Chains A and B, each alone.
Chain A
Amino acid sequence: MGLGPAIGVIFFFMIIPIGIISVYSLLEANPYGGVKPHLSFDAYIQFLFERDFDGNVIFNNAYLIIFWRSLSLAALTTVLCLLVGFPTAYYMAMQPPSRRYLLVFLVTIPFWTNLLIRTFCWILILRDNGLINNFLVSAGLIKNPIKLLYTNGAILLGMTYSYIPFMVLPIYSTVEKLDRGLFEAAHDLYANRRQLFRWVILPLAMPGIVAGSILVFIPSLGAFISPDLLGGGKKLMLGKLIQLQFTSSRNWPFGSAVALILMAVVLIAMMIYVTRFARKSDLY
């Protein structure tokens, strides 16, 4: 069986590790890192509640806020990517073939270049003595630099920048395969541009739109680099929260629990996609 080695490696070094953090999430934290082998549901309880000084369990929304921040920023990123990505993908698909291949290649380059470095570029642009502020100050438009870096807006910009190729490519490959005869048929039936878009193109492009949205949403939800470098790491998001539990906070069970919650959300999104829209070719 030629498949054995590849599957074995992924099973042993990925599926078993995920099994291990599932077990860890049900154990007690060892304050020096790692876990103590006592069954405990504290990790999951901690996500919603905390114990006050008298030992009473009270509701604590601190982690829910982090969860909500990640969820809403990921959703906003997806919407922004869609708003820019759809027209781009559509326009690319309407070009003559030779230009199409060049454009697709140009979209894939950032897809394969280092995310850390692509994010770092935005620090040069956004920071207090970065390009935008330097320009505005020297043009005399503002006296003191505006705070652009370390804001939610910067995180949103960075995530959109990071993941927008994931939106363009699946939409492009769906639109490219559409039968243009259908556009002409709609036109012959007196559909105007808006109607053509709303009733013909949009429904036909839907598999690409859904695939792209999922491919953007999943990495955005667990994003680490943009929130860390452009958000300054002050407003925690899920990715940073998990990383902290395994480093300075030394609460592996809680980190494992949050990682599993994140993975559950991702798997639910995938399930919806697979059951409702799946066509193998749309995934990549």
Chain B
Amino acid sequence: MDKTISKRPPKLFVIGKFPGFGWITLLFFLFVYAPLVILVVFSFNAGNSATVWNEFGLKWFTKAFANDDIQRAAINSLIVGITAASVATLLATLGALTITRGGKFRGQTVSYAIIMLPLVVPEIVTAVATLSFFSAIGLKLEMGNVIIAHTVFCIPFAFLPIRARLEGIDDTLEQAAHDLYANDQQAFRYVTLPLLMPGIISGAMLAFIISIDNFIITMMIAPAGATTLPLYIYGMVRMGITPEVNAVSTLMLIISIFFVSLSYYVGQRKYRSSNPR
């Protein structure tokens, strides 16, 4: 028998494959997800320690739900999130329609840069600038201040998915509507808007998540009566690590993941057809 011919099929040589990259990827996902899993697991711990497992139980969730301060903070977060996300989405939709459908106009690049500005300026700078501005003009609207600040940084997050969706919509469809004697309003109402809806919903969800997750800006500008959930959690963490913090954090984590998944599910067709992000 010829020993030089190996019985095993040769390992497939793939150009551009590097040994070890797969392991690093595995480590990456472990690194990213293990801490979240640990948090969720320990929030179901019935014992009195945040990091020593005792027994399974929902005790801390019931306690968190019954906590008046947490309820109030959650309601504040919802009010701010829903208002800011709605206004930001409306503004972003109008803006995206103008930028992609309005043809070329002077100052297009500058307009785009201004809309993206909240993504570029470090959060702490936005926070102190907004604080100084509100104090300089003497604006004291309690929750209103928080809503205004949130609307500003939500705009680019709502804008991006809406614009991406708009760019994927063939504008010959609108022309076809016009050929069929639709006026501008009808063409928008019956052609563009329904096609754009997934982008709008996706953008609104992302804006909502960004708002309810925000901590630094809210911390600097929120008056005592407008404590949001992240501010309350931060306060709890500073007081001491209790299992109740784990439970509240797990709830917030679930809310975020739920809305991101929903946003992706709704906007899915866009992501599949073109760029994955």
Contacts and interface: CB of A to CB of B under 8 A. Distances in A.
Contact of B39 (A24, A85, A124, A197): A124
Is the contact region of chain B dominated by helix, strand, or loop, or is it mixed? Answer: helix
B203 interface: no
B133 A20 contact: yes
In this complex, the member of A88, A183, A284 whose beta carbon has the largest number of chain B beta carbons within 10 angstroms is: A88
B249 A117 contact: yes
Contact of B275 (A90, A270, A281): A281
Interface stretch (A7-15, A38-46, A56-64): A7-15
A122 interface: yes
Contacts of A10: 114-115, 117-118, 152, 155
Interface in B248-277: 249, 252-253, 256-257, 259-260, 264, 271-272, 275-277
Given A6-B92, A90-B18, A106-B29, A125 B38 contact: yes
B277 A121 contact: no
B17 interface: yes
Interface string B114-126: 1111101111111
Contacts of A110: 32-33, 36
B118 A14 contact: yes
B21 A91 contact: yes
Contacts of B149: 13
Contacts of B148: 13
Contacts of B126: 14, 17
B169 interface: no
B25 A92 contact: yes
Given A87-B18, A123-B237, A9 B25 contact: no
B1 interface: no
B129 A114 contact: no
B32 to A, nearest CB: 5
Interface stretch (B60-68, B170-178, B193-201, B208-216): B208-216
A16 interface: yes
B111 A124 contact: no
Interface in A106-151: 106-110, 112-118, 120-125, 127, 129-131, 134
A243 B124 contact: yes
A122 B152 CA distance: 30
A104 interface: yes
Contact of A197 (B18, B136, B160, B257): B18
B71 interface: no
B24 interface: yes
Contacts of B97: 2
A87 B25 contact: yes
A229 B241 CA distance: 12
B81 interface: no
A18 B129 contact: yes
B272 A114 contact: no
B152 A13 contact: yes
Contacts, number: 260
Nearest to A176: B276
A216 interface: no
B50 interface: yes
B78 interface: no
A266 B114 contact: no
A129 B249 CA distance: 20
Nearest to B97: A2
B187 to A, nearest CB: 15
A172 B149 CA distance: 32
A145 B129 CA distance: 42
A263 B52 contact: no
Contacts of A238: 124
Contacts of B190: none
Interface in A246-276: 246, 252, 255-256, 259-260, 262-263, 266, 270
A110 B50 CA distance: 22
17 contacts: A2-B95, A6-B155, A13-B130, A17-B130, A90-B21, A109-B260, A112-B209, A117-B233, A127-B51, A129-B49, A130-B51, A134-B51, A180-B15, A183-B15, A187-B15, A218-B120, A246-B128
Kindly list the 4 A-B residue pairs having the minimum CB-CB distance in the complex, ordered from nearest: A222-B122, A121-B35, A17-B133, A2-B98
Given A187-B15, A259-B124, 6 more contacts: A14-B129, A94-B17, A113-B256, A114-B252, A117-B249, A123-B241
Interface of B: 15-18, 20-22, 24-25, 27-29, 31-33, 35-36, 38-39, 42, 49-52, 91-92, 94-95, 97-99, 102, 111, 114-118, 120-133, 135-136, 148-149, 151-152, 155, 159-160, 206, 209-210, 213, 215-216, 220, 230, 233-234, 237, 241, 245-246, 249, 252-253, 256-257, 259-260, 264, 271-272, 275-277
